[in-house]
Chains A and B, each alone.
Chain A
């Protein structure tokens, strides 16, 4: 009797309080949003295949990149690993029966869906053209379209994030199995704990800031409007106070995933466990203090810029510790290149490129040249797509036997992983070069000399699209026809592998007791 066979009606799913079922609900919802955002991205790349703005109008193009950004950031990336895999795995990994607040957990999903409906309604009603950043005064005075509707959607989905964060923190504090001390926690749990802290402390600032934007748009009162004594920079400070930590909401869980997959397929305990845990907390903390590096050219004080620049460089230290430690974990390991491992190694490499180019952008003088160019686009896509999406897919494959109780076809999965890696680099590496040459972001046409690189990038996007459709097909296939999975197909440590695949409703037949450190591969 597994959690999947506890009931087969739609009602039994929509009223469930089982964290595993809620995770599956999230997985379905964010997959739908991923393909909405992906469709917008496909149209953007099609438009940019030629220098002339011939496929869509400038207004439509603006709406496309806005909807791509809004959907991918708030409706896919932020809930991706935390809400799907975090929800599924956090209670199992700490030996608990469920999250601390199961009803709140289900409520978070409904809040997410409600926010998503508002955003989709705005899309159907004609879209928005402010960009995902909602910069004032564009968003408060000049933008046409359904700014308020999207803001309401993002505001609502923010509460889903906050409640999920709250749930994870309380769960990790209160529900650990006997013997599971803080420094016996898997790094996946550490990463989700730090992520939850950021969700809890950063998201409310976004909610209130966007509320102010909406109120200013409706009532015309000058919080951000300089004509009335307001200040547009105030918006940027408040927005990035959320949105920079939000990057760490997206990438910390990905780091947690890599820290599970790499030791398993290198058959070695993770190198420098405590340093890894401290590095996660370090990134989460410093991440709150670097928002000003998005505003170097906005006219903020030069001295503030220098401080923000230095703090941004500091984030590189814990990030580098993690990359070195993953590499050291591989050293002298007996490495198996399974599909999850390919994704995890892809994550480490792409995250490193994305992180190092981030240092370019954190340098004041260089940023003046590179700001608002395709270099920035390439940089954050290396972190968000190369980092987070690769890790998300790796995690889906790694824990797929646990979630579905079936094995996926390994060879097909390896081909998909390599396709995605190749397609990703072909899409985004040319954009570094374009940015370096000075092509600005957010225009639907460009001078003809940029066409070769743009065409390469668009071709890469097509490869990437195929790469993303493959897992959808074979994972769907494996639910019905895949081989039944044993409890521990990878020979991994960790409590989640000690229960059946898929787990029973309350996760364990007997409550587990922990006596050893994690990653006990020897």
Chain B
């Protein structure tokens, strides 16, 4: 699983690299585009996702101490879905601005959609696996491994959040 996560880090790599490049060469455009992000929703989503990592960890703990992890796993699924819901709302409300943006701003939006979109796909896969675990899992091992994956998704978001939402806002 650690090896798989290593490959995932490199998979996100070019997108981060593209972002760094744009930020270095078009700082104004990236800064102004960043102001259009819904920072409140982004922050809310960060909180939701971090909480879901917490419930995931509690689920693992429960399975290690021979209690049922079901409740915690379902909570994790619920939080994940809430994140996707909010994200979907953001996407639709930003779409018109993104479509009319030009130059560096368009590039910012493109990277935003590509990176958070890839993240959302990972999260959706994560939700599917955790739901399956909540229905089926008896043993500790699959929960631990899935937990690693879930925390990985969480950590990616922890990087994405300041990149896209907080950039230049307080700088």
Contacts and interface: CB of A to CB of B under 8 A. Distances in A.
Interface string A232-260: 00100110000000000000000000000
Interface of A: 162, 165-166, 169-170, 200-205, 207-209, 212, 215, 219, 221-223, 228-231, 234, 237-238
A166 B26 CA distance: 38
Question: What is the interface residue range for chain B against chain A?
Answer: 20 to 34
Interface stretch (B11-19, B54-62, B80-88, B163-171): B11-19
Contacts of B110: 215, 219, 221, 223
Contacts, number: 69
Interface stretch (B44-52, B99-107, B120-128, B150-158): B99-107
Given A166-B4, A169-B3, A229 B107 contact: yes
B107 A222 contact: yes
**Minimum-distance CB pairs A-B, first 8:** A204-B11, A221-B110, A208-B14, A204-B10, A229-B104, A200-B7, A209-B14, A238-B14
B3 A228 contact: no
A440 B77 CA distance: 58
Nearest to A220: B106
Contacts of B6: 200-201
B10 A202 contact: yes
Given A204-B8, A205-B11, 10 more contacts: A202-B10, A205-B10, A208-B11, A208-B14, A212-B18, A219-B110, A221-B107, A222-B103, A228-B107, A234-B18
A212 B15 CA distance: 8
B11 A166 contact: no
A234 B17 contact: yes
Q: Is the interface of B mostly helix, strand, loop or mixed?
A: helix
Contacts of A208: 11-15
A107 to B, nearest CB: 14
Contacts of A169: 3
Given A223-B107, A229-B25, A229-B26, A201 B14 contact: no
B21 interface: yes
A90 B18 CA distance: 38
Contacts of B14: 205, 208-209, 212, 238
A234 B16 CA distance: 12
